[in-house]
Each structure stands twice: as structure tokens, then as C-alpha cells.
Amino acid sequence: MAGAWLGGERSVLMMQGSGVGNCMNNFGITIAGNFPLLTIITLRGSWGEGNPWMLYQGRTMERMLDLAGFMATVVDDAANVEEAVSVAAQTAFNASGRMAVILSQRVTGAKKFKR
């Protein structure tokens, strides 16, 4: 993401919530270099979750983003996704913000597990 910005391009980091835990150390470059960062995250481990292994990251992800200096918006209605992404992109790229749009499983649908 930082490389794209250095070269004059915009980019978006798309991941499942568990990716936030993996990214924590590398988010440092966005702070040290005041880089813009827009991320769109699908939130496992929340509404309707059927896999207990996902609950840890689902419960802690927003706090991790806060610690890493992000402003986060949770979207739980598909009708609001476009506006949320557009507004977050403006702040990310015009104000060098670290912006996260989190799509709850009310938007993406929760995976169904048999028992």
C-alpha cells in the first residue's frame, strides 16, 4: 500500500478480520510515514458466527484497529456500503487518514455450520 502511494497510485487493503492481527506490526509504516491507508474488512467472529475459533479476532479487532490509529466504521446494512467506502476513501487519500470500513456478517452473510 505504501509502495503504491510512493509511486502515485491509490490502493485498498481488502481482508477478513483475522488479517488485522497479522498486519499489526506492518501498520507501523503508515504511522512512521504518515501514509494514507484504506482497508475494507469483512468481520468474522461476530454476528451469526458458528466457528468458535473466529471469536477471539472478532472480539478484539476493533480495539486493535484503534490501537493502530485507525478510524473505523462498521456497516451492517448493504445499502450503506458504497457511501461508507466513498467517505472513508476521501479521508484516507485527502487527509492521509488510516480508515477502516468493516462489513459485518449482516452484510456478507454468516457461514452456516452443521452443529
Q: Counting contacts by CB under 8 A, is residue 3 touching other proteins?
A: yes
Q: Counting contacts by CB under 8 A, is residue 21 touching other proteins?
A: no
Among 17, 28, 37, 48, binds other proteins (CB under 8 A): 28
Q: Counting contacts by CB under 8 A, is residue 2 touching other proteins?
A: yes
Q: Which stretch binds other proteins (CB under 8 A): 7-15, 41-49, 54-62, 71-79?
A: 7-15
Among 16, 19, 29, 80, binds other proteins (CB under 8 A): 29
Among 17, 18, 20, 35, binds other proteins (CB under 8 A): 35
- Cell numbers linked to 105: 456478517
The one-letter amino acid at 67: L
- Judged by the rule CB under 8 A, the positions of this chain that interact with other proteins are 1-9, 11, 25-26, 28-29, 32-35
